[in-house]
Amino acid sequence: MKAVQVTGPHQLQIIEKEKPVITDGHEVLVKVKMVGICGSDMHIYHGTNPLATLPRIIGHEVTGEVEAVGQDVTNLAIGDKVVIEPIETCGHCYACRSGRRNVCAELEVFGVHRDGGMQEYLVMPEKLVHKVDSALDWTESVLVEPFTIGAQANWRGDVRNGDVVLVMGAGPIGLCCLKVAKTKGATVIISDLSDDRLEFAKAWGADYTINAWNSNVNEEVMAITKNEGANVVIDAVCIPKTFEDAIEVASVAGRVVVLGFDTKTSNIPQLPITKKEVTIVGSRLQTDQFPEIINLFNNKIIETKGMVTQQFPLEQIKEAISLIENDPNEVRKVVLSFD
């Protein structure tokens, strides 16, 4: 079978490997149908993801169909449409004991630490394979995993009905944060540098949009909120300046959610954090968000039309990457199709 493997910075190839087989009663064989290309995949390809080990089959936004099940599998059957939860954890460290498996001390992510989903077949433990409604299109079910990231950010920010939420960045993850916040009854402001992205965000339910290129985001948010500020700020841009702005624009008793991995230092004074008693939290991957997102997808509470902008066959992975690199404003989510 075919698989996409990164062997070094800017070194990617389609390889042939043996089809995996079930070796444990609790395992499931999944025929991969579609895989989303995520920013983390691009970082691995560029050699800028320090967590990845090479060579590596990339891809963690995976949807497919169950082809076989182990003898002890009880919740899945052959033919089920499924999505993959791409993290494996130890189950006994402090994070796992605290219900925060996503930051397990021995965390391994499929597509980063272990081979991921850009291959024609995967064998996975049943606990990491989730059934979705068969009526969902593949271009919908492939988005479940990125929406769990948005759900985690909303959970970490404790987004509540009536809150004003500022989402910084209208890329794929920012859009997922927007949609989930709307399901919770929040008023959502979203900022970006691209009018096209902001126009799409508006169509997707944003109550207010701000172009950070030609407007002062903090002043605009204060005007919208009558000088209260945003109760929750989700920073999906993830540069030092947006982190600094997030602290400034947060309301009293506000919450700031940080999604970035930038190692550069931000210049943030203590006073606004203490004076407003701002809560600052990180958000990484997800824990137990798949059931909620799948329910929202199955019941059409979250509609995803327009998120997938381009589809490529597996054999055109290099063309897909080139598009993402050279025409980012033309892209929201690019997917590989394995049909």
**What is the predicted pLDDT for the residue at 149?**
98
Name the pLDDT band for 339 (thresholds 50, 70, 90).
Answer: confident
Residue 121 has pLDDT above 90, yes or no: yes
**What is the predicted pLDDT for the residue at 51?**
86
Mean pLDDT of 298-324: 97
pTM: 0.97
pLDDT, one tens digit per residue, over 248-299 is 999 999 999 999 988 899 999 999 999 999 999 999 999 999 999 999 999 9
**What is the predicted pLDDT for the residue at 311?**
98
- Give the whole-number percent of the chain exceeding pLDDT 70: 100
**What is the predicted pLDDT for the residue at 262?**
87
Name the pLDDT band for 50 (thresholds 50, 70, 90).
Answer: confident
Residue 315 has pLDDT above 90, yes or no: yes
CA distances from 102 to 227, 258, 284, 289, 293 (A): 36, 15, 7, 11, 16
- Please check whether residue 109 is in contact with residue 85, taking contact to mean a CB–CB distance below 8 angstroms: no
Phi/psi-derived region of residue 232, left when phi > 0, alpha when psi is between -120 and 50, beta in every other case: beta
**What is the predicted pLDDT for the residue at 81?**
98
List, in order of start, the domains of the chain with CATH numbers: 2-143+304-337 (3.90.180.10), 149-282 (3.40.50.720)
Question: What DSSP letter does each residue of 80-131 carry, written as one string?
Answer: -EEEE--EE--SSSHHHHTT-GGG-TT-EEBTTTB--S-BSEEEEEGGGEEE
Mean pLDDT of 4-29: 97
- Please check whether residue 159 is in contact with residue 232, taking contact to mean a CB–CB distance below 8 angstroms: yes
Instruction: Round the CA-based radius of gyration of the chain to a whole number and report it.
Output: 20
Mean pLDDT of 84-112: 97
Task: Provide the CA 54 distance to its chain's centre, in angstroms.
Answer: 22
**What is the predicted pLDDT for the residue at 329?**
85
Residue 221 has pLDDT above 90, yes or no: yes
Mean pLDDT of 62-69: 98
Residue 212 has pLDDT above 90, yes or no: yes
pLDDT, one tens digit per residue, over 174-209 is 999 999 999 999 999 999 999 999 999 999 999 999
What is the crossing angle of helices 172-183 and 144-156, to 10°?
Answer: 60
DSSP secondary structure letter of residue 189: E
